[in-house]
Amino acid sequence: MTLRPAAPNNGVVFRREDMSRAPDIPARHDFIVDTRLGTTLGIGEARVATVEHLLSAFAGMGVDNAWVELDGPEVPALDGSASAFVLLVEEAGVEEQETPRSHVRVLEEVRVEQGRHWAALSPGEGFTLSYRGDFAHPAFARGGQAHEFEFSTGAYVEQISRARTFGFLHEVATMRRHGLALGGGLHNAVVFDDYRVVNEGGLRYANEPIRHKLLDAVGDLYLLGRPLIGRYRCFGSGHTLNARLVRELMKRASAWEEVTEVAARTGALRQPGLAGHLESITELT
């Protein structure tokens, strides 16, 4: 993967370098084609899977415009969090562009449900996110099942970006039997057995999985194509509910408006964040 600077109004766009005449895939909700194990975007035959952690880092770092070149169908998992992407963006630098930054401001509450789980967007100052989970696992009793944070680059980098994706040993076995998560392991995920964390180093935060769910939500909500002004709340949400929430908001014209802040400018990478640096960055995290 190589990240490259892009012009104002380009947005974040994925490019499959390995496919001949493959169309570019914009990081927008209308291109979501699968949300089962992560968020996958696609046009025609072209697919890009697991876009959420990279988009989360772009949202966190204020990158509105970028090209993401890939030589395969998936964004690299790295350590399972967004921290390597954050370091890559920091290394490249973010340049303020001449274009005013537009936002999606929520005007009415929008809510989607799936069984007991739900996710909602409601009006609010700034952008706040809160997650409540219901994981029936002893390791979650200690760290708690909830986390709330007010979005800013500082809060994102400090509280959210380092939280890794997670899984349970019994699920990993089932997934492998079905040919999934073949590259998954202790180097890019927190793994729980029936009682505790299997990873030698333990957790990065007591409620790391809950924070990772917020990392995912930040990435999924960035598929609005612009930063959000409002309040995100949920109970046990994931990629599928987040995608439905974004679509529901866009569908209801009275529930949102586009606002352009004269003082805020769009951001783009100053120079390419080179793929060759990723390996050493992963070792740092």
> Which residues are known to be catalytic?
239
216 binds Zn ion (CB under 5 A): yes
Could you tell me if 29 and 52 are in contact, meaning their C-beta atoms sit under 8 angstroms apart? Answer: no
Q: At what angle do helices 208-221 and 52-61 cross, to 10 degrees?
A: 80
Minimum distance of Zn ion from residue 21's CB (angstroms): 31
Closer CB to Zn ion, residue 165 or residue 242?
165
Please give the span between the terminal C-alpha atoms of the chain, in angstroms, as a whole number: 18
Closer CB to Zn ion, residue 39 or residue 65?
39
Minimum distance of Zn ion from residue 39's CB (angstroms): 9
Closer CB to Zn ion, residue 64 or residue 216?
216
Region of 88-96, 189-197, 213-221, 251-259 interacting with Zn ion (CB under 5 A):
213-221
Minimum distance of Zn ion from residue 165's CB (angstroms): 4
Minimum distance of Zn ion from residue 106's CB (angstroms): 23
- Encoded one letter per residue, x for contact with Zn ion by CB under 5 A and - for no contact, window 28-67 reads ----------------------------------------
237 binds Zn ion (CB under 5 A): no
**How far is the C-alpha of 204 from the C-alpha of 208, rounded, in Å?**
6
CB nearest Zn ion: which residue?
216
Region of 86-94, 129-137, 175-183, 208-216 interacting with Zn ion (CB under 5 A):
208-216
Nearest in space to 129 (alpha carbons), one of 105, 101, 152, 163:
152
165 binds Zn ion (CB under 5 A): yes
Region of 92-100, 163-171, 243-251, 275-283 interacting with Zn ion (CB under 5 A):
163-171
240 binds Zn ion (CB under 5 A): no
Minimum distance of Zn ion from residue 213's CB (angstroms): 8
**How far is the C-alpha of 69 from the C-alpha of 99, rounded, in Å?**
24
Region of 81-89, 164-172, 184-192, 194-202 interacting with Zn ion (CB under 5 A):
164-172
Closer CB to Zn ion, residue 97 or residue 165?
165
Number of residues that bind Zn ion (CB under 5 A): 2
Query: What one-letter code names the amino acid at 7?
Result: A
Closer CB to Zn ion, residue 208 or residue 216?
216
Closer CB to Zn ion, residue 5 or residue 38?
38
Minimum distance of Zn ion from residue 80's CB (angstroms): 7
**How far is the C-alpha of 191 from the C-alpha of 268, rounded, in Å?**
35
Paired sense of beta strands 12-16 and 25-26, if any: antiparallel
Burial 51-80 (b: 16+ CB within 10 A, else e): bbbbbbbbbbbbbbbbbbbbeeeebbbbbb
**How far is the C-alpha of 61 from the C-alpha of 157, rounded, in Å?**
8
Region of 81-89, 141-149, 194-202, 211-219 interacting with Zn ion (CB under 5 A):
211-219
79 binds Zn ion (CB under 5 A): no
Residues that bind Zn ion (CB under 5 A): 165, 216
